[in-house]
């Protein structure tokens, strides 16, 4: 498997971790909306890249 694909999957998992991390009750609670936004953006961007790579592979244009 291509290392770039594994890196993109790791980025998606990191985005999920940023969304799910419990920050309530800590000094980082004020940045919870920012971490959620960054997590959502990471998931969307890396997922779109994986979809693009899959389409290019199916069309034979690597």
Residue 62, pLDDT above cutoff 70 = no
Range of the domain at 24: 3-59
Residue 1, pLDDT above cutoff 80 = no
Q: How many domains does the chain have?
A: 1
Contact (Cβ atoms closer than 8 angstroms) between residue 47 and residue 12 = yes
Where do the H-state alpha helices sit in the chain?
3-20, 32-59
Predicted confidence band of residue 61 (pLDDT cuts 50, 70, 90): confident
According to the model, what pLDDT value does residue 17 have? 95
Residues 6+ apart with CB under 8 A from 40: 15, 19
| Distance of alpha carbon 47 from alpha carbon 42, whole angstroms | 8
């Amino acid at each position: 498997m291509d290392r770039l694909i594994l890196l993109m999957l790791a980025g998606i998992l990191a985005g999920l971790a940023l969304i799910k991390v419990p920050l309530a009750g800590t000094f980082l609670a004020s940045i919870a909306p920012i971490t959620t936004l960054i997590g959502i953006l990471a998931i969307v961007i890396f997922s779109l890249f994986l979809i693009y790579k899959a389409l290019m592979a199916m069309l034979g244009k690597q």
